[in-house]
Amino acid sequence: MHSKVIIIGSGPAGHTAAIYAARANLSPVMFEGMMAGGVAPGGQLTTTTEVENFPGFPQGITGSELTDKLREQSERFGTEIITETVSRVDLSARPIRVWREDADGDSDAPDTCDALIVATGATAKRLNIAGEDQYWQRGMSACAVCDGAA
């Protein structure tokens, strides 16, 4: 499949890119990943219980609700969302080549695109210490804003 724009990642940055690309009639294709890096499609936002600092939601919104709204808006403008993980890209020539995680090496034809947006986000670095699982998001977190407010 050839696309004008492929977006890798489905968090707020990926969906923002998708909305702008779709509104510019670039017919973007988003690979939202399937538990990529151990994180569900939508990224870290899906694990956030309450988002109070995102514009437009004065009463706050849950991470999963915001993820759903971002996805809905991307689709509304025509973004094709594929729930697969990208395992490899080749930027050395045009068109750019993108392989899905389940591709069988070089024998599977890659997807191609004219432009690639990588919006893969981040994941929290855990310490793997005693009690971490028990206290994660119950006093122990990786949120600078949350931790600073405590």
Active site residues: 143, 146-147
Q: DSSP secondary-structure letter at 42? A: T
Token pair in block for residue 87: 């395992």
Q: Which long-range contacts (CB under 8 A, 24 or more apart) does 49-52 make?
A: 49/137
Contact assessment for residue 74 and residue 15, using Cβ atoms and an 8 Å cutoff: yes
Q: How many helices (H) and strands (E) does the chain have?
A: 4, 6
- Strand, coil or helix: 5: strand
Number of residues assigned to the chain? 150
